Chains A and B, each alone.
Chain A
Amino acid sequence: MKLSTMAVPLFLLAVPTFAQEVPLPYAEGNVNRFLEANKAQKLPSVVLYNFNLKSG
């Protein structure tokens, strides 16, 4: 088998793994801990209620 044909399934396997590891630009759940952490860093916070990645 050519190296290039072996690479295709490997690449396809790697894509979801890579996608899962991309850091999301938002936190999920645990609102109080999230607010406390931002308060400690003197940062404002946005909370999107009823929003989660599955529904929204």
Chain B
Amino acid sequence: MLLPSDELKQLHQKVPICLSGRELPGNCDIRFGQFYYFFMFNAEGELTDVADMSNGLTKRVQKGMTLPLAFLDMVEASLLIETSLDDCERAYLDAQGSAKAYSNLLDKLKQLERIGSLRVTTLLRENADQMDDPVRTRFHALSIEIAAVRRQVINKRAIDSLAASIETFLAQNPDHPDANELLNAYLEVALKYSFDIAGRCHAVAQKWRENPSGGKEASARELADKLVKRCDQQVASVRGSIKKLKSETSYGVPRLYAQLGDAKKTLDLLEKTKAFGVMRPIRRAWREKAEAKLQ
């Protein structure tokens, strides 16, 4: 497909193409395992489209196109998309974080398969204090971060960062109307790969009780109780999953014991199970914490 055909040479004059290897463009984030992605930037250098190359090409080849023509067609179709992610970011800031601008931003991120979510999160947080409702903008940023980590980004740094983001947001806004949903995301997404989730939740709850945000003592205490209760449910769910296991050496099992904080079993299973690229830093952290706990 990428042989220097006449069509490709002509296209390259009009729309230059770069084979980036593993270098990500446009300050984007991408999930481990998302191979062969196509990024389109407009003449202003702003990201307008992202597409899975395999899906885009297969769909066109199945319609009868040759592979080189399918690629040209992908480029042509992508050139028709005028709105860039940068347009939506600017519109959000200009509209002071309005619901409509947020909705447009979300639609654009969905079109981009959420690639670029973390850059939007950073931008919103940096500008939250200048918006009409800073808490609302911080909540928008957090919601985008949760969706990205839940569906698209799998790396330890992003997951750890999400846990810290939720803890900070809830410490400052324990009375937020969506606090319960955030607790769910905290347990289901942010702590999914954590060692000893009960230990962490109890420590966080204690911190909220002892250092409540000014004037929010009652709601901070209430939220701390909810966190402990929600954590108990999660631990029960993990124990239920362990009971249903058919094999103790399957891929996902060390995570369950790590979540329970079972140091001996976690170390034992880390020896018996294979590590894959993206999981290595996560497994390294489990090992360190389990060894520390046993000492």
Contacts and interface: CB of A to CB of B under 8 A. Distances in A.
A22 interface: yes
B45 A52 contact: no
A45 to B, nearest CB: 4
A44 B41 contact: yes
A49 interface: yes
A45 B2 contact: no
Query: How big is the B interface, by class?
Result: 35 or more
A26 B2 contact: yes
A41 to B, nearest CB: 8
Nearest to A22: B4
A28 B22 contact: no
Interface string B2-29: 1010001101101111111111111000
Contacts of B37: 48-50
Nearest to B22: A50
Interface residues of A, number: 30
Nearest to B48: A44
B25 A35 contact: yes
B15 A46 contact: yes
Contacts of A27: 16-19
B4 A47 contact: no
A20 B276 CA distance: 37
B44 interface: yes
Interface string B157-177: 000000000000000000000
A55 to B, nearest CB: 8
B15 A43 contact: yes
Interface in A12-49: 22-32, 34-39, 42-49
B166 to A, nearest CB: 29
A49 B41 contact: no
Nearest to B41: A45
Given A26-B18, A28-B18, A28-B21, A48 B38 contact: yes
Contact of A31 (B8, B18, B40, B43): B18
Contacts of B23: 29-31, 49
Nearest to A55: B21
Given A32-B25, A45-B40, 5 more contacts: A24-B4, A26-B16, A43-B15, A46-B41, A47-B39
Interface of B: 2, 4, 8-9, 11-12, 14-26, 30, 34-45, 53, 75, 78-79
19 contacts: A24-B4, A25-B4, A26-B18, A30-B23, A34-B16, A35-B25, A39-B43, A45-B40, A45-B45, A46-B15, A46-B40, A46-B75, A48-B17, A49-B22, A49-B24, A49-B36, A50-B36, A51-B53, A52-B21
